[in-house]
Amino acid sequence: MKTGFLIDMDGVIYRGSELIPGADQFIDVLLRQGIPFLFLTNNSQRTRRDVQTKLQRMGIHVEESHIFTCAMATARFLAKLKPNGTAYVIGEGGLLQAMHQNGFSIVDHSPDFVVVGEGRTITLNALESAVDMILGGAKLIATNLDPSCPTKNGTRPGCGATVAYLEAVTGRKAFSVGKPSPIMMRAARKELGLATSQTVMVGDTMDTDILGGVQMGYRTVLTLSGGTRKEDLNQFAFGPDVIVDSIADLRDVGEFVQTSLPLGNRDDDTVTNFAAWAAANA
């Protein structure tokens, strides 16, 4: 049976700039066996190419097409809402490039959207401009709502914190496209051409990766190599299908899919062959 993987990066493939042991071998197996996969990241800062280079330096050699960021998901979604629209962007290269590639002009007054991503160069001036634009009618869009991100030295404020600031000032609620939003989760599956039952989400964060996968009816694998500990699971009403210490535990992919991933009730599958489906359900 065909299976493909949506794979979170931070806390699953690497921590900061350090490769998680065995992650490179797992990706190698996917490449060699032609198993479809996509890296799914809620970091809008880097472009696909930047991410590809970061991975390459850690010994993981993939194509740009293996990378799907929340910046890409956001820009594609907004381009459908408003082709050739305008945006004021609080964020960096990855988000700016994605917006441009999807036909947006970046402006500094009267935009259709104020789009927020992460970055190290956010100023109070930019936030103040954004407030005026939002109160003037621009829609507040978040690439993701992650409040913070663990770093080598501690914690850095995330996109969600910037968005919360803008929401507090304006009284408007942001619309978010990144994980766990079904918009990004579904777009990723479609990108691989997989059906719901063929899709496995691997991640280290319950609120984004696992919740996103559960909402879509994908099978989910939680890795304990990142921000979540086993005892944290009690806090959640939902849970992953499988828990592993590290993505290295998935190296024997075929066997893992056969023995560890429950098939469950797959009535919610996307119908890819209507004639066959209709015959089976007649």
11 forms part of the interface with Mg ion (CB under 5 A): yes
Among 5, 7, 10, 27, binds Mg ion (CB under 5 A): 10
146 forms part of the interface with Mg ion (CB under 5 A): no
241 carries a ligand binding annotation = no
Q: Is 10 a catalytic residue?
A: yes
118 forms part of the interface with Mg ion (CB under 5 A): no
249 carries a ligand binding annotation = no
CB of 230 vs Mg ion, minimal distance in Å: 16
DSSP assignment of the chain: ---EEEE--BTTTEETTEEPTTHHHHHHHHHHHT--EEEEE---SS-HHHHHHHHHHTT----GGGEEEHHHHHHHHHHHHSTT-EEEEES-HHHHHHHHHTTPEE-SSS-SEEEE---S---HHHHHHHHHHHHTTPEEEES----EEEETTEEEE-HHHHHHHHHHHH----EE-STT-HHHHHHHHHHHT--GGGEEEEES-IIIIIHHHHHHT-EEEEETTSS--GGGGGG-SS--SEEES-GGGGSSHHHHHHHTS-----TT---S-HHHHHHHT-
Binding to Mg ion by CB under 5 A, coded x per residue (else -) over 205-224, reads x-------------------
8 carries a ligand binding annotation = yes
CB of 204 vs Mg ion, minimal distance in Å: 4
CB of 227 vs Mg ion, minimal distance in Å: 7
Q: Is 252 a catalytic residue?
A: no
Residue positions in the annotated binding site for Mg(2+)? 8, 10, 204
Report the interface residues with Mg ion, using CB under 5 A. Answer: 8, 10-11, 204-205
Which residues are known catalytic residues? 8, 10
